[in-house]
Amino acid sequence: MSTTTYIGLGSNLGDSRQLMAEAVHKLAQLGGVRVSRLYQSLPMGPQDQPSYHNAVAQLQTMLEPLALLDELQRFEQEAGRVRLRHWGERSLDLDLLLYGEKNIINERLIVPHVGIFHRDFVIIPLLDLNQNLEIKGHKLHDLEIVQHSTLTVLADSDWAEI
Ligand code: ROI
């Protein structure tokens, strides 16, 4: 049985759109993939860094959570992941946001991802993929952050060409 998972993609170093599209193609080898629109977002963290490209991918996969995490970390490394400082710029971030309905607390992994409710660059693309999504009993659509989002749409959901 496969599980519906959601993976956050972020980048603000290098050719962000290209790095993210390549990551989506690699995800597609792990199962069925759909992607949100592609967004530009203001940096959360130090403000003296470029704005981010953000998106979310929905992946239908047979992999167990830690095996999926291994793959995501491998894809980050393959993208030549650079991380210059804490909460600073990075070439590619792949975050396992949701794994079915599962709550996971592990040395390597917390799911649902801890930052979700505070990040419009995660919530808005999640809603592109599933308008009815609920996390911990909260309908994402009803969250206040949705009304106050400062994201800009860079491209429709065909940006990754999958
Ligand atoms: N800020 C934005 N806008 N988008 C991100 O993906 C992102 N990722 C991060 C931090 C540094 C928290 N800030 C971010 O890891």
The yes-or-no answer on residue 93 being catalytic is yes
What residues flank ligand 1, with Cβ below 6 Å? 10, 41-45, 52, 54, 87, 93, 121
Number of residues in the chain: 162
Do the domain assignments include residue 48? yes
Q: How many CB atoms lie within 10 A of CB 66?
A: 14
CATH of residue 37: 3.30.70.560
Decide: helix, strand or coil at residue 67. helix
The pLDDT value given to residue 93: 96
Q: Of the listed 90, 119, 120, 128, which one is catalytic?
A: 90
Split into its structural domains, the chain has a count of 1
The pLDDT value given to residue 1: 86
Do the domain assignments include residue 161? no
Taking the centre of ligand 1 as the mean of its atom positions, its distance from the CA of residue 98, in whole angstroms, is: 17
The pLDDT value given to residue 84: 84
DSSP code, position 116: G
Residues of the chain short of pLDDT 70, as ranges, are none
Taking the centre of ligand 1 as the mean of its atom positions, its distance from the CA of residue 111, in whole angstroms, is: 17
The pLDDT value given to residue 81: 83
The pLDDT value given to residue 31: 98
Q: Which residues pair with 137 in a beta bridge?
A: none
